[in-house]
Each structure stands twice: as C-alpha cells, then as structure tokens.
Structure 1
Amino acid sequence: MLVDAAAELVDGLARGHHPTYGVGSMTCSIYDTAWISMITKVVGDQTRWLFPSSFTVVVDHQDESGGWIGDGTETDVILNTAAAILALCSHRRENDTGDLNDRIARATLFLDQKLKAFWLDASATLPVGFEMLLPKLLQLLAKEGINLEFPARPMLEKIRAMKMARVRLDKLYEGHKSTLLHSLEAFIGDVDFDRLSQHKQMGSMMASPASTAAYLMNSSTWDDEAEAYLQYVVLYGAGHGSGGVPSAFPSTYFEYTWVVATLLENGFTREDLGIDSLKKIGQTLEGAFQAGSGFIGFAEGMELDADDTAKGITTLNLIGSSTPASRLVTLVDRKTKEAHFRTYAGERDASITTNCNCLTALCASPDASQHADVIEMAMRYLCNKWNTEPVGIRDKWHLSSLYPMMLMTQGLMSGLDSWGRGLLPALPTEVVVDALTVVHQIMGHLLRLQQDEGAWEGKRENTAYAVIAINRIASLPTVKPVLAHVNAALERARGFLRQYLGCDLEPEHLWIEKVTYGSRNLSQAFLLSALKCTILPSPPRLQELVPPNLDATLKSAKLFRQLPMFSNVAASRIDIALIESALFVSRLRERCLEVFPGRTATKEKHLAYIPFTWVGGNELHGRPLGSHVLLEMMVISALAYQVDEFIETSVSQLSLEAIAKLNSELDTLFDTPPPQPTSLLSSIPVFGSLFTPPPTPLITIKTALSHFLTTLTSLPYVQAAPPLLQSQVRLQLKSYLSAHLTQLEHNHSLSLQPPPTTTTAPHKTLTDPPSPLYEWLHSTSGSHTAGPLAISLFQCLLSPLLPSGPTPPKIQYLFSSLSRHLAALCRVYNDLGSLDRDREEDNVNVVNFPEFEGCGTKEEIKSQMMEIAGYERRMLDGALKELEGEVGAGKVMAALGVFVRSADVYGEMYVVRDMTPRVK
C-alpha cells in the first residue's frame, strides 16, 4: 500500500506537469485571493471584475470577529485582513452597499486591535516580505480613509527603511532579477510597472498571483499573458476553479525535489517510485540546472537559490544522475561573523534549513571529498546554531521547530556517515563529537515532546518530521542501549499516522511564504516516508564514537533514580540523558587531565557524574542550554573538585602562618599576566603536578593559584562580559580561595578540640566559632561551595541575553542574593551527606556550631538541617521570583532554572551519598 501510494504520488507529479505552467499544490491564500479579486478589465465600453468568484471567496471567509483568521499566524491574520479590507473597499467603489460598509467597519476594528497587540523588534524574524507588504497595505488603506496607528509601526517602518537601503528598484528596469519581483504589490506607486514586463515568467511575476495582480492593475497596457497565467491558477491551482489561489504557483522544482528526495531517503527505491516517472522528473531538473548554469529556483524562470539548488543536487544523485556540488559551494557567504550558505543574495535573515539542505547535498554529491572544508563549515554552523538556540530553533520557511530539527538531523547525520565512510579524513574530532552530541540532544528532545497518542503537536506532518529524524538518529551505535524505547516511540507515532493513510485531508498550514500554507504533495511524501523508513546500519567506523565509559555511566542510573527530582522520571528518559552525558566525559577528562595527570579512575569519579548533573538538570527544565554552555559549566564544576583536592592535599600541608600569609596576598596573585591558551584547564599545566605530597613550597603554590585565577579571568566569555560582571568574577574568585584557606584554619582549630565526652553529643562544638551559623553559611561556607563563583561566571555566559547597558543595581543584587541562598542550601545538603566523614577528618560542618549543641541524636540533627535547608529553599525561590519580575520569564530565567536544578542534583546526591573524595 505504501509503495503504491508513493508511486501514485510521483506519477501524478510527473504527469501533472504543464509544459508552460508547471505544477503546484500549495494551498489557497486569502491574501493573494484578495489581490486578484481587485483586478478589473475593460471589455468594450464596460469595466468588469475579472475574478468575481475570488471576491466571493474573500467575503465568504470573513470571520464573525470581523477578520480573516484561517489556520495561520499573527502575521497571517494581519496581512489577510488588511488585503481583504482593501478588496472590500475596491468593490465598495462600484457597489456602495450597507453590507460592504458593515463588513469593512467590523474588519477595520478587528485589524486595529490586532495591530495594537502586535509586538516587533529589530531582531524579529518576519515572514517573506512582511516588512514591505504591511506598510504598503497601510498606505493604500489610508487612501481609502482607513488610518491605523499602533505601537509597532515606527519599528516596522524602520525595518522597511533598512531593507530599502539595501535594494535599488531602478535595477529592476535593467533586467536584474530579484525576490522583489515576488512582492511587487509592496511597490505600488514606487515603480513604473510598464517597465517590468521583461520579468514575466509564464506570464507571472515570479510565480506570485498577488504580485502579478499588482502588475496587471498598474500597467497602462493590458497584458494578456499575465491574465492567462492568473486564469490558469484560478482553474488549476489548489482552488480548482472556486476563485481561491495560492501564494505561489507553480512550485515545480520545489515539489519535485522535496517529494522525490524525501521518499528516496526514507526507504523507497527507484523501482518503487517508477523508473519512467523519475526519468521525466530527472530530465526536467537536469534541464533546469543547465539553463541556470548549475543552479535552480523553486520553479522555471524563478530567482536561483541555494535551497532549491541543494535539494535538486540531492534528488538527482538519489535517482542515479551524478551531479556535483561544485557550483553550490560558490553560494557560501564568508563575509559574515559565521560563514554559511545564503539562500538569496542580500537576504536579511540566514536560513538554517537552507544550510541543512546544502550540507546534505554536499555529502550526497560525487565530489563530496573535494568540499571537505565546506562540509566542516556547514557542520560547525549548524552545531553552533543549535547550541545557541537549542530546542527553540526556528527557520523562516516553516512554523514548526520540528522541521529544522529533522533537516539538521539529516545534514549532520550525512556528515557523520561521510566521515564514517572515510570521505572526510581531515574532519576534526571536535566537529564529529559536537555533531554526535547535537543529534543525540535532538533525539532526546523529540522523545520528550511526544504526546500520549504518539503524535507531536497533534499534527500529522510534524509527527512525520519527528519520526524521520528519530529513525535516522537511531542508526547510531550510541543509541543501542535505548533502542527498544526508541522503537516503541516510533511505533506509537506510526500508529497515529496510519489512521490518516489514504485520507484526502486539507494539508496543515506549516510552511511560510508571504502567508503560511500547506502542500498536499509534500504532506503526503512526509507521511509515507515516516511510515516506510527503517533503521539502517551505520558505517562501522561510527563504533569509535561510543564512549568507553558508556556502560559504567548507564549503571549510575540506579543512583540518580534514588534522587527525589528523578523519582517520577521515566527510566528511558534518564538513560537517554546519561548517554548524552557520556558524550561529554572525554572532552571533560581531556581538559581536566592537564590538572589531574595520572589520577586513577577512582579518583576521577566526579568526572563521570558531573556531566549528568548538568545534562539532567537541563533535561528536567526543557533543555534551554546548548552544549557549549553545558560544557563550560561542567568544567567549572570539575574545577571546584580540583581546587578542593589541591587545597586539601597540598595547601593544607603548609604551616598556619604560611596559609594566613597566602590568604592576605590573594590580590597579588591576579597580577600575573594571563596565560596564552583560552581553555579553562589546559592553561594550568603546573597545577596538575602539585597533587602528590610531600608538601609544596609556598612560592610554587602561589604560582599555581595565579595560573588558575588569571585563566578564569581571561576566559573569552568573561572578557566579553560587561565590566561589572568581570569585577564580580574577580571578587568571587578571591572570596572562593579565601574561603578555602579560612576553612583550613577553622578545621585546624576544630582538630585541636578534644572529642565529645558523651554519646549524646556525637559531634564537636566549636568553642570559638568564627561567626553565628547564619553568617558563616552566607559568607565563608557559601563561598567555599564555589556556588557564588559559578553564578558569576554563569552570569557572564548569560550576559548577551541581558538588556544592553549597565546592569540595574536591583538585578545584580538579586543575582547575588540567589547565589548566596543557593550556596547555603547546597552547603547544608553537603554537610548532611558528609557528617561521618567530616567528624573523622575534623572538617568544620554546620553541626559543629553552637546552634546545634542541644541536638542529641543524629536524627534530630538531620531534621534540623533539613529545616534550615527548607528555609534557604524558600528564600531562593523568592529571589528567583523577584528576579523574574525584573528580567521576564524568558531565556535568562530558563537558564537559571537549569543552574538551580543542577545544584539540586548535587544537593540530593550528597544526601543519598557522600560524593566528596576522602583525602586524609
């Protein structure tokens, strides 16, 4: 059944191709329908509406609210309603009826409300041409007496001006092709339409009914060819004669390539799809590439672009027509901060999916090995995009994040497969591992979002995207431990999809043009592919990517399932997060081994569980952090263990006088010039040589600590942070080291006290405490945890997300407040888990303070410690809530949520098991 349906789909594409107008299945658009409904034609001595049925469609689709809602987005509703009002006004001039006046009044009120609620900033990604189309519609409506002002209008006009500054309309008269031709309705009154007829293709202006309508209405001479195009679209487009038209027609090459490539990439063979049909499609594409000198657009005669060119290369190679990618690589834009493929020349926002398709095309081409540098560039670009905007990744051509996730999976997996087959021998290991980590994160995110009925977002096409992506990732050997769970998830999804097989349903409006649209052909191709695809074996070399510690890491699931925060989390979800964690261990160890040379596996146990504390926290909080931030915070966490062990094994061997002297001279340690390497740990080679007693001379210890301090303060993300945050890092570094040195002095004082004389007092009580317990928890003890230091470094990582300019005092105060409450909370948890060890080693614990002197039993002590922890938790929650009121519930708070979760993992682990290595 699947094969028959796929063959029928491809055969329909091949046979449905009109020699002049091509083929297209995009759904109808009220926006474009409204534009063609305004065309009048003089016949004899009479002027008549050319498409009265189109105006009927517009009128019939007006919602009770007054607007044109459809299935689209906020910008859809605005454009559809504005264009429809303009159409109503045009018809009112000929037929001034009460019904039209009422419709216009209700629609205007609706549009006014929508515009006033519309939010916009300079960084917003807008649908195709929106910043040009809406200002012109508002201008035209003003001529009809409808004046609309709204808060976002100045920004909209500013964005339009920025776009106009990059284009020259007069170039159109010289025959210069531009995407502007697709939206000529935005330039009514600004261009001479009589001088644009040279740009017609199939009678259309870049396959746009709206643009063609604007051309026909504003040319002084009637154009029969343009009329014939519109008549054909009305009759044979998605409206099938009803009067409705799509936002683009035809879309021949777009539909050919997306449909055929999707089917062949997901289990269908050429024989399944029909050799003759594929031959016809292949010949059409080959002719298009020849006519475009190695490039194609979305249809015949359209502007050439990287996206359709890439998909065309992939399609031709899949059907057996060897097609190199040598022309495609010329579309790389190397002038920007990050080199990437540009879809069109002069585009405002780069397209992630275009770069995904280009990467896939490069890997599918016969000359892939010749373009290894561009493949590496594309893989880096995509990984960086994911790490910058994980899970919230969006593309300007599609509404759903699932679509770019699917294409990113296909692109990165193509790169990994090419590396596995030996085609990319020089591909850096870091790129390979980063790509592997990203696709695992995509899989984990997709599985987490699956709904109970097996769907994603309740939509057929989105579910198909997720299935195709997960199925491709499941071929990796690193997925084997959770393959049974993955297969079960895929089967639930296919069960959801099977109920729609053979149903003639309106495609979901997920794709973005001027307004959103769907495509029957594409929707069917994705549905069939999701039901057909199977997990194929990966190249044997990919086995090298399985972390050697994976089995041991998965065994730690038993510990993590004991933690309250993971007690209700599915075992498979924990296992998936543990696999992702294992992918970080080698990178973490590589950086830490320069600090811990020759350490045994038992002494490195923290390197095995630190990644999960961050990956697990990220998982529970919706995965807002990318790999780069996660790795940096893992390194900070590992460094805290490194410093703790260094202090206890080396610095503790100094005399009390030397320790006090070192504490008083911490400021001078910042004066050493920073080391050249930018890696957090690789720049401290001398540090690692100090871990083995006998005691190290003071001068060597000071040199090591200077390396540590200057390395942290010279980190790129610290150097890029505002001066206030840089100074906070320096202050917290000093407090952190000072707390360690002060703790040594307190431990020494405690060791001199005699043991308790009664069994009712199991712990020593400080006879001369340094301060009340509360002050100690919020000063020396809190700094000792490295929590406030980690928050200050984390804040530097988050600084690009904070408002530009100086940080308001209250915001910085709240960051400090939450860091202190969190540090106190973690210290109490730590001390609760290390009661016995601290008693044996004479380490000062909260129970050594006089406030605990009256607690006789261990159970009573633990109960009181949990009460204190509960108080600190409430204070922490209050600080977070207050901070959210200042910065909003956006990316900053999501990131902080992960930080707190990760700290909680440590806290709960300490309660279950003492994780601190014994060094005495």
Structure 2
Amino acid sequence: MLLIEAFTKLLRLSDSCSLSDIVGEELHRRVSISLFQACFRTLLEQQEDGSWNGAPEQTCYAILSLAEAQHVYFCNGLQPQLESAIQRGVDFLKSRSFQSADQNWTSKTAYKVSFVAEAYELAALKVFESSKVPAIVSSCFDTRASLAELDGFKQLVSNTPLFAKLPELQVRASLVESSFFVPLLKAQRLKVYARDNIPVTEDRYLNIIPFTWVGCNNRSGTFVSTSFLYEMMLLSLLGYQTDEFFEAVVAPAFPETAFLHKLIDNIIDNVGKDKVNNAHGVNGSYNISTANGQNGNGSWLVPQEVSSPLTRFVTYVLNHQAVLSASTWDRENLCRDLRAFLHAHATQTGENSRFAKQEPQSSDVYTSTTRSFFQWVRTTGADHVACAYSLAFAFCLISSSLNLGKEVFPTVKQKYLAAAATRHLTTTC
C-alpha cells in the first residue's frame, strides 16, 4: 500500500516536471513496472468473499492500494476489475462487525492496534465513495504504442496450451506489464551487436521477449524478482542477435569453419583469463583467420567486425557482475555451455554451407551430412539453441543472489538431474 502511494506521488511529481533532473525516462519506466506489479498482484490475491486472507485490516490496505492505482493512466485497462475488486472488498467489510484480529504490526512480537485498524476501515469505506476519478498520473508515458504491437500477439498466446485456460484479465495485464520492458530492451539493442549495420530484418522479437518472461511469471504466480526477469530478457535478446550475427556476418567471412572454432576457443579462453584488453593484436584483430587468407606472416587475421562483437558477447555473459559473484561450479558450467553454444553455431554454419553447395541445387534434402537427423537433434541442434547456456546463466543469478555465492545444486545427484533436465529441454527446443 505504502509503495503504491509513494510511487504514484513520485510519478505525479514527475509529470509536473518537479523532478525532471532526477527522474528520467528509464527510472520512470522502472517505477511504473513496480507500481503496476504491486497493483496487479494485489488484485490477483483477492479471495472469493472479497477479502484478502479473510483479514479485515489487510482488506482495508488492499482497497486503499487499488483505489490509489486508479489514478494511474497505465492502469486504465484494469479499471473495471479495480472497481469490482474495491466494491467486493467494501462489501466484505460491511458484512461483518469490524473486530480486527489481524496481527500486522511487529516489534519483538506481532500485535494489533485497534484504533489504527478502525482508522484504515474508515479510510477504505470513504475512498470507495470518491475512487472514480480520471486516471491522469503518468499519462505522458503512454504504453499504447507497445500495446498495439502486442495485441496481435495476445490472440496467438491465448490459443496455446500454456495460456488457453488463463483468464483474459491475466493475459491482458501481462501484456501491459511487458510493454514497460520493451523500451528498456530497445535502449540496449546495440550494446553488443551493431545490428543496424547488418543486413537483417527488423527486430520485431523485441516486442515478444518481455511477454515470454512476464507472462509465465504471472501465470505461475511465482513472482521472481524483476531484476532476474530483466536480466533474462537481455540474455534472450542477445540469443536472437547472435543467431542473426552468425548468419549475416560470420558465415560469409568463414567459408572454412575450422578457423572459426579456433577463434571461439581463443575468445572464451582470453575472456575467462581476464585478458580481454590484451586479446587483440596491434591492429585490433585476432591472429587466427580472415576471409581474405594469410597476411604474409603465416598467421591469419580475423576482421574486427567478427571478433569484436563476439568478444563483447562472451565478455557480457562471462564477466557479468552476477556471474562473477556466483559459485565456481556455476561459473564453469556457464562457460562450458556458452562454448558449446558458439561451437554449435560454427558447426551449423559449415553444414549450411555444404548444403548450399550440394548437387542438385533444387533438392531440399541434405544428402551430404555425416550424421542422422536423430544425432543432429541431440548434438548440434540441441547446443545450437540458447537454452542450455541461458539456464546456466540463470543458475549464476540464483547462486549470486539467493544462495550468496554457493552452488545452486550442491550434491552430485542434483547436478546430474539438473544436467539431464537441461539436455532434455535443449533437445525439445
């Protein structure tokens, strides 16, 4: 309740330009995410009798929270549900004599303060009478542009087994929450790969990535930390961009993938040894290979448009602050899975090249492969998707935060089962 009230006042001051030197667009959106989550999750926790946990005092807090949320512009899409929830909460309060047994206050022990509870009851009943006010707070940061792009996605996800039975309110609210993350992701889209200079299609996946995390989080009711969701969204973005980068830039530069495999190992080894700053030669390129052949000294040069983005990507993943503070086991596991991911891309690049050269050109069947489709799915195909290293990255986030640097799976049995589950997921993907 206090968070919703405080953040609503903060956004109101931001709208009046009173805090223009403090509250920028990014902070505004981060505050909006927290505010919307607090409102939506309060809404989800209401019980059938209109109360929250059957407790009168907690119900008062919830009513006041939802009434405050009605002032916020981006909650417009939830107005009918907010009004209904407030009405049902008030009906619950009126249906019984207000003798609060809620032990909401704590010092050395939990206790209740009767006159405080009565004051909140009066406030909750009073706010219901004046709660229907125009939602004007934060109207300058409208989410309609992002929502319009996500609306088409709503129909698709509502037809999937995962979301088909979910109430439309939850899907819609998850779309609203997702829309706040889209601008944050767009601000980071060129952090690793300069994709605007690459011949690739528009990155419309930016609008889908947030919902895949927010929608599943809200559906399960797990409500993991928002920082965890955001970090995984950024990693998902890099996964899409890495696919694009290999197809549009790396593949043309490496007709022979043996040198590409060496480059990948060199970059990961150098970053892992904290030699990022010394990883390049004087001319800024790795002395391994180039599409143009030898440089006259018997060594091979990789153009910076290949080596630099790959180095930035590996550095981002392995030198992430949370990764560096994770357990040694979880860090090493991430490094192994990231290496396998990039090597699988290199292997797939070579197979794509051979497929393009096979005779006859009109055939859509890959006849020059040395493996069966079954083997490919469980090796290159599984490693080629970002599932394994993304999961390993998530384990590092958990290790550094919830586990305080300890291993997420401390026993041999747990490690084995986690690895088996990961391999099953990668094969399924």
TM-score range, shorter chain: 0.7 to 0.9
Matches of 2:132 and 2:276, distance apart in 1: 50
Question: Alignment partner of 1:591: what SS?
Answer: coil
List aligned pairs for 1:325-340, cutoff 5 A.
Answer: none
Question: In 2, are the aligned partners of 1:755 and 1:764 still within 8 Å (CA)?
Answer: no
- 1:611 corresponds to: 210
Which protein, 1 or 2, shows the higher relative CO under an 8 Å CA cutoff with sep ≥ 6?
A: 2
Q: Does 1:640 align with 2:244?
A: no
Distance change in 2, residues 1:544/1:504 (3 Å): closer
Determine the C-alpha separation between the residues in 2 that align with 1:633 and 1:674: 24
Match of 2:99 among 496, 505, 510: 505
C-alpha offsets along residues 630-671 of structure 1, whole Å, 9 cap, x if unaligned? 1110011111110101111112223531x2211133111132
In the alignment, what sits opposite 2:293?
none
Q: In the alignment, what sits opposite 2:296?
A: none
Deviation, structure 1 residue 771: 5.1
State how 1:257-406 maps to structure 2 within 5 Å: 406=1
Distance 1:446 1:597, change over 3 A: same
Q: Report matched runs for 1:778-817 at 5 Å.
A: 778-799=378-399, 800-802=401-403, 805=406, 807-817=410-420
The CA distance in 2 between the partners of 1:573 and 1:744, in whole Å, is: 41
Alignment of 1:436 with 2:35, yes or no, is no
Q: Which residue of 2 aligns with 1:413?
A: 8
Task: Give 1:749 deviation, angstroms.
Answer: 3.2
- 2:183 pairs with 1:597: no
Q: 1:579 aligns with which of 145, 163, 176?
A: 176
Match of 1:699 among 291, 303, 307: 303
Count of residue pairs the alignment pairs up: 391
Write out aligned runs for 1:15-94 (5 A). Answer: none
Alpha carbons 1:412, 1:439 under 8 Å: kept = yes
Contact preservation (8 Å) 1:674, 1:714: no
Matched with 1:530 is 124
1:768 counterpart = 2:369: yes
| Residue of structure 2 aligned with 1:654, choices 253, 270, 273 | 253
Q: 1:623 to 1:598 in 2, by over 3 A?
A: farther
Q: Which amino acid aligns with 1:579?
A: V
CA distance in 2, matches of 1:602, 1:473: 39
In structure 2, what is the Cα distance between the partners aligned to 1:654 and 1:815? 37
- Letter matched to residue 142 of structure 2: V
Are positions 1:825 and 2:428 aligned together? yes
1:477 and 2:73 are equivalent in the alignment: yes
Question: What does the per-residue CA deviation read over 1:123-160, in whole Å, with 9 as the maximum and x for residues that have no partner?
Answer: xxxxxxxxxxxxxxxxxxxxxxxxxxxxxxxxxxxxxx
Whether contact under 8 Å (1:461, 1:526) holds in the other structure is yes
Q: CA deviation at 1:451?
A: 1.5
Cα shift at 1:504: 5.2
Mapping 1:480-559, distance limit 5 Å? 480-500=76-96, 503=97, 505-533=99-127, 534-537=131-134, 542-547=138-143, 548-559=145-156
> What is the one-letter code of the residue matched to 2:238?
L
| Equivalent residue number for residue 290 of structure 2 | none
Q: TM-score under structure 2 normalisation?
A: 0.83
Contact 1:453 1:492 in 2 (8 A): yes
Is 1:631–2:195 an aligned residue pair? no
Q: Encode CA deviations 1:8-45: one digit per residue, 9 max, x unaligned.
A: xxxxxxxxxxxxxxxxxxxxxxxxxxxxxxxxxxxxxx
CA distance in 1, matches of 2:199, 2:125: 49
Contact in 2 for aligned 1:717/1:796 (Cα 8 Å):
yes
Report the residue type matching 1:412 in the other structure: F
Change (3 A) 1:554 1:468: farther
Partner of 1:423: 18
CA contact under 8 A between 2:199 and 2:248: conserved in structure 1?
A: no
Cα contact 1:674–1:711 (8 A) shared by 2: no
Change (3 A) 1:804 1:633: closer
Please say if residues 327 and 405 of structure 2, whose CA atoms lie closer than 8 Å, have aligned partners that are also in contact: no
| C-alpha spacing 1:426/1:608, structure 2 compared with 1 (3 Å) | same
Q: Is the 8 A contact 1:554 1:579 kept in 2?
A: no
Amino acid across the alignment from 2:314:
L
The alignment status of 1:621 with 2:237, answered yes or no, reads: no
Q: Distance in 2 between matches of 1:428 and 1:719?
A: 30
Larger radius of gyration: 1
Could you say if the C-alpha distance between residues 464 and 598 of structure 1 is closer, same or farther in structure 2, counting changes exceeding 3 Å?
A: farther
How far apart, CA to CA, are the structure 2 residues paired with 1:450 and 1:510?
18
Quote the offset at 1:573 in angstroms: 1.0
CA-based RMSD of the aligned residues comes to: 2.7
| Partner SS for 2:71 | coil
**Residues 570 and 539 of structure 1, relative CA distance in 2, 3 Å threshold:** closer
CA distance in 2: counterparts of 1:728 and 1:513, whole angstroms: 44
Q: Is the 8 A contact 2:232 2:394 kept in 1?
A: yes
CA contact (8 A) 2:56 2:100 kept: no
> Counterpart of 2:202 in 1: which secondary structure?
helix
SS of the residue aligned with 1:597? helix
Percent identity between matched residues is 25
TM-fit CA distance, 1:470:
1.5
Instruction: Output the CA distance in 1 between the equivalents of 2:198 and 2:146.
Output: 16
CA contact under 8 A between 2:4 and 2:69: conserved in structure 1?
Answer: yes
Match of residue 163 from structure 2: 566
Q: Which amino acid in 2 is paired with 1:821?
A: H
CA drift at 1:824: 1.0
8 Å contact kept, 2:347–2:380:
yes
DSSP 3-state at the match of 2:67: helix
Residues 706/804 of structure 1: CA separation in 2 closer, same or farther (3 Å cut): closer
Deviation at 1:803, TM superposition (A): 7.5
Report the CA distance between 1:475 and its aligned residue.
1.4
Match of 2:267 in 1: 669
Which amino acid letter does the alignment assign opposite residue 417 of structure 2?
A: L
Shift of 1:772: 6.1
Q: CA deviation at 1:408?
A: 1.6
Distance between the aligned counterparts of 1:601 and 1:443, measured in 2?
39
What CA distance in whole angstroms lies between the structure 2 residues aligned with 1:506 and 1:665? 68
Rate the CA distance shift 1:768–1:420 in 2: closer, same or farther, 3 A: closer
Partner of 1:719: 324
Asked if residue 455 in structure 1 is aligned to residue 51 in structure 2, the reply is yes
Instruction: Return closer, same or farther for 1:451/1:513 CA change in 2, 3 Å cut-off.
Output: same
Code of the residue aligned with 2:303 in structure 1: it is I
Assess if the C-alpha contact under 8 Å between 1:409 and 1:472 holds in 2: yes
Distance 1:535 1:811, change over 3 A: farther
Q: Cα distance, 1:538 vs. partner?
A: 5.5
8 A Cα contact 1:461 1:527, kept in partner: yes
**What is the TM-score when the length of structure 1 is the normalising length?**
0.40
3-state secondary structure, aligned to 1:543: coil
* Contact 1:756 1:764 (8 Å CA) reproduced: no
Q: Report the Cα offset of residue 601 of structure 1.
A: 12
| Residues 621 and 517 of structure 1: CA distance in aligned 2, closer, same or farther (over 3 Å) | same
State the secondary structure of the residue aligned to 2:20.
coil
What is the CA distance between 1:756 and its match in structure 2? 8.9
Tell me the residue number matched to 1:235: none
Write the deviation string for residues 769-820 of structure 1: whole angstroms up to 9, x where unpaired.
Answer: 43561x4333221111111110111111000323865643333333322211
* Alpha-carbon distance in 1 for matches of 2:52, 2:338: 46
* Structure 1 unpaired stretches of 5+: 1-405, 676-685, 687-696, 758-762, 827-920
1:392-428 Cα offsets, whole Å, 9 max, x none, are xxxxxxxxxxxxxx12212222222222233222224
